[in-house]
Amino acid sequence: MSQSRVLIVDDEENMRHMLEVLLGKAGYEVESAADGVEALERMAASDFYFILCDIKMPRMDGMTFLKKARETYPEKTYIMMSSYGTIETALEAIKEGAYDYISKPFKKDEVLLTLKKAEERKRLKEENLRLKRKITEIEQKYSFGNIIARSEAMAKVFDLVRTVADHKTTVLITGESGTGKELIARAIHDNGSRASRPLVPINCGGIPENLLESELFGYRKGAFTDAIRDKPGRFEEADGGTIFLDEIGELPMSLQVKLLRVLQEEEITPLGGVGAKRIDVRVIAATAKDLSQEVREGRFREDLFYRINVMTIHLPPLRERRGDIPLLVGYFIDQFNKKLKKDIEGLSSEAMPLLMEYDWPGNVRELENIIERAVLLAKGRWITPKELAQETLSRPGPVESLSLKKASKRLERELIEKALRSTGGNRTQAAKILEISRPMLISKIKEYDLKL
C-alpha cells in the first residue's frame, strides 16, 4: 500500500475538488467521499494512511464518523476540518483521537504542512515499532537480563559469559565506570549452575578500611567492643553462590593478603574466630583501574592479580559501540514509561543525532540518566533536543568530536535558533541579525529542520 494515500471527506464538492487537485499535485493518491457514511464504505474497500474530514456534514457528521472510524481503524491518522471551528471543537476532536485540526478557510500550504507533519509522526512511530521489534530480536539473541546490545564487541562479551557461566572459574571484569560491570557479573551468575544460590555484591571502595575486613569475613561475639553477637560476613552469605567484589582495585594492601588466602584455601577466618571455616564461593571481581599498572606501581599484589585474572571480560566504553545507542534508548524509554507512567513513543529525528555524536564519558549509566530525565520532562509523545541535557551533549568529546566541520554546524544552528527566538520567528529580522540573506536563512532552516 502506498504510504501517501489520502481520503478526503467533505460534503462540499468544490472543497473536495480543490483538495484532490492540490494533494494530487503534491504526489498524494487521493479519493474522496461526500459524508461519513460513504467514507466508512470507502475505508472498508480500500486502505488509506491519512483521512482529511470535515466536521459539519449531512447523514453522518465528522465527529460521529471519527468515533466510528477509530473503532475499526484506530491506527489511521485523522485530520479534522471545519469553518465552524472553536477551540472547544478542536479539543474535542483531539480528545476523540484526531491527530490535528484545521480551521476553514485555510491556506493551501497549511494543509500540505499538516500532512507532512503527520507523515513525519507516522514515520517516527513506524521507526519506533521497528526498533522495539529489533530490541526483542536482540534480547533473544544477545541479552542477559537488562543488558541490551547488538555490537560485535558486546556479542563477544556475551559469548564469554556463556562460556564461563557454568564453571567456578574466577572472572575479572574490566571497563570504565558506567559500562555495566555488575550487570555482567549478574548475567554470569544467573546463567550458571549457581543461579538458585545468592549473588552477594560488595563495593570494596565504598566501605572504610577498618570495617571492610569484618564486612567481608564476619566476626565473632566479643571480637571488639560493639561485637555483641556473631555476624556472618559477605563470603559466608555467598556460600554455595557467587560473591561480586566490585572496585577490587581499591582493596587495601592488608586485605589483599587475606583475600589471597581465601581464594587459595577456600576458607575464611572471622574476626575473633579461632578456627577457619570452609566455604564454596565463586568469585567475580571488577575494576575500572588498570590492575597490571597498579601491580607495577606497587599498589596491588602481583600474586592476587594473577589469582583473580584467570578469565578477563573487558567491557568496551559506549563511544566504541555507538550502534548500541538506539537499542539502549528504546529499552530505557520502555523502562521509564512504566516507572514514570508516561507514554513516550521515541526520539525525534533531531534528538537522536545528539546522542550518536556525544562522547559518553559516563557510558551506559550516563545514557540511562539522560533518558530518564528526558522521559520525565517530555510534554508530548516524542523526546526532542529540548528535553535532553543539550548543553552537555553538545560539548565536544576529547578526540573524535574535535571536528571543525561538525562544531561549525552546531554553532551555526545554535545562532540561527537564537536569532529566530529573539525575533519571535520573524525571518526577515533574524536574517538581518545574522547578516545573511533571507533566502539563505530559509535554506538553513530547512537544512537543520528547525521548527520554531
Q: What is the pTM of this model?
A: 0.58
Structural domain spans, the chain: 5-106, 126-144+321-402, 152-315, 403-452
* HEC per residue, the chain: CCCCEEEEECCCHHHHHHHHHHHHHCCCEEEEECCHHHHHHHHHHCCCCEEEEECCCCCCCHHHHHHHHHHHCCCCEEEEEECCCCHHHHHHHHHCCCCEEEECCCCHHHHHHHHHHHHHHHHHHHHHHHHHHHHHHHHHHHEECCEECCCHHHHHHHHHHHHHCCCCCCEEEECCCCCCHHHHHHHHHHCCCCCCCCEEEEECCCCCHHHHHHHHHCECCCCCCCCCCCECCHHHHCCCCEEEEECHHHCCHHHHHHHHHHHHHCEECCECCCCCEECCCEEEEEECCCHHHHHHCCCCCHHHHHHHCCEEEECCCHHHCHHHHHHHHHHHHHHHHHHHCCCCCEECCCHHHHHHHCCCCCHHHHHHHHHHHHHHHCCCCEECCCCCCHHHHCCCCCCCCCCHHHHHHHHHHHHHHHHHHHCCCCHHHHHHHHCCCHHHHHHHHHHCCCCC
- 5-106 and 152-315 agree in CATH topology: yes
Q: What percent of the chain has pLDDT over 70?
A: 91
Tens digit of each residue's pLDDT (9 = 90 or more) over 11-48: 999 999 999 999 999 889 999 999 999 999 999 988 89
Tens digit of each residue's pLDDT (9 = 90 or more) over 324-364: 898 899 889 999 999 999 999 999 888 888 999 898 999 99
> In the prediction, which pLDDT does 400 show?
46
Q: Is the pLDDT of residue 394 over 70?
A: no
Average pLDDT over residues 146-154: 79
Q: Is the pLDDT of residue 132 over 60?
A: yes
Q: What percent of the chain has pLDDT over 90?
A: 44
- Of 12-16, 122-126, 213-217, 346-350, the range with the lowest mean pLDDT is 122-126
Average pLDDT over residues 370-397: 81
pLDDT band, residue 146 (cuts 50/70/90): low
> If you classify domain 403-452 with CATH, what class do you get?
mainly alpha
Question: What average pLDDT is seen over the chain?
Answer: 86
CATH number of 152-315: 3.40.50.300
Tens digit of each residue's pLDDT (9 = 90 or more) over 414-449: 788 888 888 878 888 888 888 888 888 888 887 777
Annotation: CATH topology of 5-106 = Rossmann fold (3.40.50)
> If you classify domain 126-144+321-402 with CATH, what class do you get?
mainly alpha
> In the prediction, which pLDDT does 418 show?
81
pLDDT band, residue 452 (cuts 50/70/90): low
Average pLDDT over residues 306-320: 94
Q: Is the pLDDT of residue 110 over 90?
A: no
